[in-house]
Chain A
Amino acid sequence: DTGVSQNPRHKITKRGQNVTFRCDPISEHNRLYWYRQTLGQGPEFLTYFQNEAQLEKSRLLSDRFSAERPKGSFSTLEIQRTEQGDSAMYLCASSSVRAREQYFGPGTRLTVT
C-alpha cells in the first residue's frame, strides 16, 4: 500500500497528558499537511511542510501544538497538556509540488477524557 499512513489510529488520553501522532506521506510527495476535523465539521487546516520546512501555520495551531518533519519524510504532530477541546480527528495529507491533488490518510482519532 503506497498511500498516506497515520499512527496510531485511535488515542485516548487523560487531560494534561502529551500525545504524539505520526504521518507517513506518499513517498515521492514533498508537501505534507495537517488538518483537524471535529464532529459535524469539515477538516480545518493546521500546518503545512514543504520538504522539512514548515511554511505555514494556522492560528488554530496554539503554542501547545508542535509539528516536525525531520529529513522531509514522515511528520509528527505533538500536543502538550491536552485539553478536552483537543478531541478530534487529526488528518494528514500529502501532495507533490506540481500536482493539485492532496491525498489523505485514515486519520488519528484523539479522545481526551
Chain B
Amino acid sequence: GEDVEQSLFLSVREGDSSVINCTYTDSSSTYLYWYKQEPGAGLQLLTYIFSNMDMKQDQRLTVLLNKKDKHLSLRIADTQTGDSAIYFCAETVYGGSQGNLIFGKGTKLSVKP
C-alpha cells in the first residue's frame, strides 16, 4: 500500500537553506505535495509537483523529485524564523475517482536566529 516517510526534525540557522526530505512508495502516476502547518492551525498548501517532472521552483521554494528512488525534497532558501513549522509531504494517486491525500508524519523545522 501507499506510505510516505519523512525525518521528524530539522534545525537550521536563520539565513541558511533548509532541505526537508520525503520518500514515498506508490509507483503509479501521482501528484506529490508539500504542506506547512503552524501550531494549532490547519494545513497551508505550499507547492506540488506531478511525478513526470524533476523540479519545480516557486520563489524561495524548490521541489526536487527523483522518481527512480521515489524521493522528494523541499528546499527553502534564506530560511526565516517565520518558516518554523511542521512540513508535511503528501501523495495522491489520480486514476481512480477520489484523490485523497496520504501524508507523512511531518518534519518539524526549527529556525534559530
Q: Which residues of A contact B (CB under 8 A)?
A: 4, 6, 31, 33, 35, 40-45, 48, 50, 55-56, 91, 93, 95, 100-107, 109
* Docked-complex contact B100 and A104, CB < 8 angstroms: no
Q: Is A43 a contact partner of B97 (Cβ separation < 8 A)?
A: no
Bound complex: CA A54 to CA B50 (Å): 27
Evaluate contact between B45 and A103: CB separation under 8 angstroms: yes
B97 neighbours in A (Cβ, 8 Å): 50, 55-56
Flag if B45 contacts A101 (CB, 8 Å).
yes
Could you tell me the distance between the alpha carbons of A95 and B101 in the complex, rounded to whole angstroms? 12
Contact B104 A56 (CB under 8 A): no
Q: Which has the most chain A C-beta neighbours within 10 Å: B45, B50, B100, B105?
A: B100
Q: Which of B11-28 contact A (CB under 8 A)?
A: none
Complex formed: what's the CA distance from A40 to B43 in Å?
14
Residues of A within 8 A of B94 (CB): 100
Q: A55 contacts B98, CB within 8 Å?
A: yes
Q: Name the residue on A nearest B41 (C-beta).
A: A106
Give 5 new A-B contacts, CB below 8 A, not counting A45-B101, A56-B100.
A33-B100, A95-B99, A104-B42, A104-B43, A105-B42
Min C-beta distance of B50 to chain A, whole Å: 8
A-B contact pairs, 6 of them (CB 8 A): A33-B101, A41-B106, A43-B101, A45-B102, A48-B98, A91-B43
Query: Interface size of B by Cβ–Cβ distance < 8 Å?
Result: 25
Report the minimum CB–CB distance from B108 to chain A (whole Å). 10
Q: Is A102 in contact with B101, judged by CB distance below 8 angstroms?
A: yes
* Cβ–Cβ < 8 Å partners of B100 in chain A: 33, 45, 48, 56
Distance to closest chain B CB from A41 (angstroms): 6
Given contacts A42-B88, A55-B98, A56-B98, contact A107 B41 (CB under 8 A): yes
How far, in Å, is B21 (CB) from chain A's closest CB? 15
Q: Are B105 and A41 in contact (CB-based, < 8 A)?
A: yes
Which residues of B, 55-82, contact A by the 8 Å Cβ criterion?
none
Residue from B4, B35, B42, B102 whose CB has the most chain A CB atoms within 10 Å: B42
B90 contacts the other chain (CB 8 A): yes
Q: Report the separation of the CA atoms of residues A104 and B37 in the bound assembly, to the nearest whole angstrom.
A: 10
